[in-house]
Amino acid sequence: MKLPAQPNRSLMDGLACLQALTSCTGPIGSRELARVLRLEPTRVNRLLGTLASMGLAEQDENRKYRPGPGIHALAAQSLFGSGLVNRAIRYLPPLHKYGHVVALGVLWRDQTSYLYQVNPQRPTEQGLVQGLPFPAASSGIGLVLLAHQPEDAVRDLYNPAHPPPLPLSFDPPKLDGPQGLIARLRRIRKQGHALVETDLGRRTLAVPVGTANYAAVAFAGTFPDTEVPDLKAALQEAAANLAT
């Protein structure tokens, strides 16, 4: 989506700080965060102070910043207020009978975040909300959602004509050529699903949820090509229920 004619830069920078805080694996100093975001340190320090005053950030004993209790409340409200997680709890467990990891994820810019990720063989080790983001261009869920975006939007995301308000979270993929991202997305769009080969012979099969393509559901595991049609049909049925 293009920026409006008069974007609110303060709002964009504040959200950039907040997003960076929630993506860090530990507390981060204001100067280090300024380097990550390519922003002026005094501005970042002021924005972090404002977020802390609102409870969206907090400082530890070393005066480094981390997400505050307010951001956790917002996350819970958004997850359960949307109804998507409630529907996932209802409609995704039947997929566990296939013996593969079942995942539900969303796309934001160049990253995939998982709202549901359960391995039926180790249910106590994995569950709702797998927090850290994953590169969308390497994720079945990310790829099937990128495939339903305009190609110009994908190009502008990974190779913007102007510096973006938020830096990319991951190194950009190769866009052009037979094995480039654009060609892969065209194939995914045509076949209606993403099938991604990962490490140790594992694969991910993903389909989008609904016509708005705001989320996707996937199987991850080891399965042959002959099982793909049946697995895809099961995912599509679950996706239709999640979209209601």
- Give the Cα separation of 192 and 59 in Å (integer): 46
Q: What pLDDT is attached to residue 81?
A: 76
CA geometry: angle 206, 84, 102, nearest 5 deg: 35
The band of 49, judged by pLDDT with boundaries at 50, 70 and 90, is: very high
| Mean pLDDT (the chain, rounded) | 88
Q: Which two tokens stand for residue 16?
A: 């950039």
Q: What pLDDT is attached to residue 140?
A: 95
Mean pLDDT of 28-42: 91
Q: What pLDDT is attached to residue 218?
A: 97
Q: What pLDDT is attached to residue 128?
A: 53
C-beta of residue 104 within 8 angstroms of C-beta of residue 114 = yes
Q: What pLDDT is attached to residue 78?
A: 79
Report the side by side order of strands in the sheet with 215-221: 128-135, 111-118, 101-108, 215-221, 203-209, 194-197
Residue 244 has pLDDT above 70, yes or no: yes
In the chain, the percentage of residues whose pLDDT exceeds 70 is 91
Helix, strand or coil, per DSSP, at residue 194:
strand
Q: What pLDDT is attached to residue 50?
A: 95
What kind of fold does domain 9-73 have according to CATH?
A: Arc Repressor Mutant, subunit A (1.10.10)
Residue 22 has pLDDT above 70, yes or no: yes
Helix, strand or coil, per DSSP, at residue 84:
helix
Of 100, 85, 189, 195, nearest to 141 by C-alpha is 195
Residue 54 has pLDDT above 90, yes or no: yes
Mean pLDDT of 90-98: 94
- Where do the structural domains in the chain lie, given as residue ranges? 9-73, 82-243
* Residue 52, C-beta contacts closer than 8 angstroms, at least 6 positions apart: 58, 59, 65, 68
Q: What pLDDT is attached to residue 8?
A: 84
The band of 165, judged by pLDDT with boundaries at 50, 70 and 90, is: low
C-beta of residue 204 within 8 angstroms of C-beta of residue 192 = no
Q: What is the CATH number of domain 82-243?
A: 3.30.450.40
Q: What pLDDT is attached to residue 127?
A: 55
Mean pLDDT of 219-234: 96
Q: Which two tokens stand for residue 94?
A: 């039947």
User: How far separated are the first and last CA of the chain, in Å rounded?
Assistant: 25
Residue 137 has pLDDT above 90, yes or no: yes
Mean pLDDT of 164-190: 88
Q: What pLDDT is attached to residue 158?
A: 92
The band of 132, judged by pLDDT with boundaries at 50, 70 and 90, is: low
Q: Is 70 exposed, middle or buried (CB count within 10 Å of its CB: 0-12, 13-18, 19+)?
A: middle
* Residue 120, C-beta contacts closer than 8 angstroms, at least 6 positions apart: 96, 97, 99, 100, 101, 102
Q: What pLDDT is attached to residue 160?
A: 78
The band of 123, judged by pLDDT with boundaries at 50, 70 and 90, is: low
What are the φ and ψ backbone dihedral angles of 219, each rounded to 5 degrees?
-105, 145
Angle between helices 30-37 and 9-23 in degrees, nearest 10: 110
